[in-house]
């Protein structure tokens, strides 16, 4: 009997046998580990290479892209479905942006309130200029203040997860208490030794001016707001913001000191009062409307500004007065900053005289300074 040939599309038996063996071999062999994606060639949405391998570059690039998109909607009526009325100003905003970041506005616009029907909310007690910076943070992840660079990118605080933000708020703004106070004590003791001729003020400022550098600007400061980006991420001219003036203020001060015009440089820094009051007021507003990320950013900017100019700024007692009037006793995130800085040099007669009235007005401030001063003294006994 003649054997039927195999179907035209059926592989020979030996081919099918080899295929079965290959399948069995792959099933029993260990699965190779997936090749790790290299960070060397990963770039942000701005086209800049990340420089910290520990960062989740995918999530960060998404965050940057989202803020870049939202920034185009700020102060725009396009897609606006919510109005914030503050004083004589009206801010056209978007519930998807504002209410998702602020539980206060979420409840007001979603609950059984008149605001949920009118889609507008009035803030009669708030400063319109501060509210504008508040909204700027919600849309862009940062805010402009005429002093700090934004580089057109969101701050680190805006990219952190909520748990990390809360943890950072529970830590001192200036690192460990002992390190900060010990470094400040050295500056204060040298100032006290030269109080008569006023040559010991702002030792950090003087040291930075010896070689004409500006290292004193960032010594012992909190982590930079934008340190996750490459240093060549952009320049002041790249982001369309008027940051030339921001740079000139600090640069003029540094140059004045480097050229021997020390008092002129210190006076220029002391004029930056807004650098202290704006982050303070933004911190209070962020606490009021429950935006922890903005609280963190404002707190760190407040610390950097206060540490730099408080001894020369005649308005500093007024700043402390406002701080203690607008923050509750349980909120130590901002109060400990001024207590620690003053405590480090409270032995200087000029400092005591300068802070006397505000310490008499706010007993808790005086107690805070005393406690930090005692703690500082025990570190060196």
Residue 287: is its pLDDT beyond 90?
yes
Chain centroid to Cα 10, Å, comes to 68
Q: Structure tokens of 229?
A: 């980006």
In this prediction, residue 365 carries a pLDDT of 96
CA distance 119 to 127: 21
Query: Can you give the pLDDT at residue 356?
Result: 96
**179 or 331, which is more confident:** 331
Pick 207 or 13 by higher pLDDT: 13
Q: What is the pLDDT of residue 376?
A: 81
Q: What is the pLDDT of residues 231-240, one digit of tens each?
A: 444 433 333 3
Band (71; pLDDT cuts 50, 70, 90): confident
CB 247 within 8 A of CB 150: no
Please report the pLDDT score of residue 249 as a whole number.
56
Q: Which domains does the chain have, with CATH numbers?
A: 57-159 (3.30.710.10), 177-224+242-379 (no CATH)
Least reliable range by pLDDT among 12-16, 62-66, 258-262, 347-351: 12-16
- Tokens for 344, please give them: 């480090």
**Mean pLDDT over residues 48-52, rounded?**
46
The mean pLDDT value for 353-369 works out to 96
Is there a contact between 180 and 220 (Cβ–Cβ < 8 Å)?
yes
More confident residue, 137 or 215: 137
More confident: 85 or 177: 85
pTM of the model as a whole? 0.65
Tens of pLDDT, residues 96-121: 999 999 999 999 998 788 888 889 99
Q: Which residue has the tokens 């700020």?
A: 74
- Coil, helix or strand at residue 84: strand
* 80 vs 340: CA distance, rounded Å: 45
**Per-residue pLDDT, 139:** 94
Strand locations in the chain (E) = 82-86, 89-93, 120-122
pLDDT band at 253 (very low <50, low <70, confident <90, very high): low
Q: Residue 79 to residues 56, 96, 111, 178, 335: CA-CA distances in angstroms?
A: 31, 10, 22, 51, 40
pLDDT greater than 60 at residue 245 = no
* For residues 260-272, average pLDDT: 66
Which residue's structure tokens are 């708020």? Answer: 169
> What is the model's pLDDT at position 241?
37
Strand duo 120-122 + 82-86: pairing = parallel
């Amino acid at each position: 009997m003649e054997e039927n040939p195999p179907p035209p599309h059926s592989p020979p038996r030996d081919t099918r046998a080899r295929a079965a063996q290959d399948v069995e071999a792959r099933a029993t062999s260990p699965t190779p580990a997936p090749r790790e994606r290299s960070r060397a060639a990963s770039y942000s949405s701005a086209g800049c290479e990340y420089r910290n391998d520990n960062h989740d570059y995918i999530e960060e690039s998404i965050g940057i892209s989202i803020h870049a998109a939202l920034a185009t909607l700020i102060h725009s009526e396009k897609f606006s479905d919510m109005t914030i009325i503050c004083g004589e100003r009206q801010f056209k905003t978007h519930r998807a942006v504002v209410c998702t970041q602020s539980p206060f506005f979420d409840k007001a616009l979603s609950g059984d309130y008149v605001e949920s029907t009118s889609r507008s909310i009035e803030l009669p007690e708030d400063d319109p200029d501060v509210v504008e910076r508040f909204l700027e943070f919600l849309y862009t992840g940062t805010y402009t203040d005429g002093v700090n660079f934004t580089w057109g990118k969101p701050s680190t605080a805006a990219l952190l997860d909520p748990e990390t933000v809360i943890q950072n708020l529970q830590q001192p703004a200036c690192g460990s208490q002992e390190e900060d106070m010990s470094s400040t004590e050295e500056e204060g003791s040298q100032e006290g030794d030269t109080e008569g001729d006023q040559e010991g003020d702002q030792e950090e400022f003087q040291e930075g001016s010896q070689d004409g550098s500006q290292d004193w600007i960032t010594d012992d400061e909190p982590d930079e707001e934008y340190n996750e980006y490459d240093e060549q991420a952009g320049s002041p001219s790249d982001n369309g913001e008027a940051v030339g003036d921001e740079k000139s203020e600090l640069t003029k001060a540094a140059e004045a000191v480097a050229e021997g015009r020390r008092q002129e440089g210190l006076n220029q820094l002391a004029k930056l009062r807004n650098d202290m009051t704006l982050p303070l007021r933004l911190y209070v507003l962020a606490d009021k409307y429950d935006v922890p990320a903005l609280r963190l950013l404002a707190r760190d900017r407040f610390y950097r500004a206060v540490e730099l100019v408080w001894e020369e700024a005649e308005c500093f007692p007024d700043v402390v007065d406002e701080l203690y009037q607008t923050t509750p006793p349980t909120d130590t995130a901002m109060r400990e900053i001024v207590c620690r800085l003053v405590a480090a040099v409270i032995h200087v007669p000029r400092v005591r005289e300068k802070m006397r009235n505000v310490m008499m007005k706010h007993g808790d401030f005086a107690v805070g300074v005393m406690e930090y001063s005692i703690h500082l003294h025990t570190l060196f006994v």
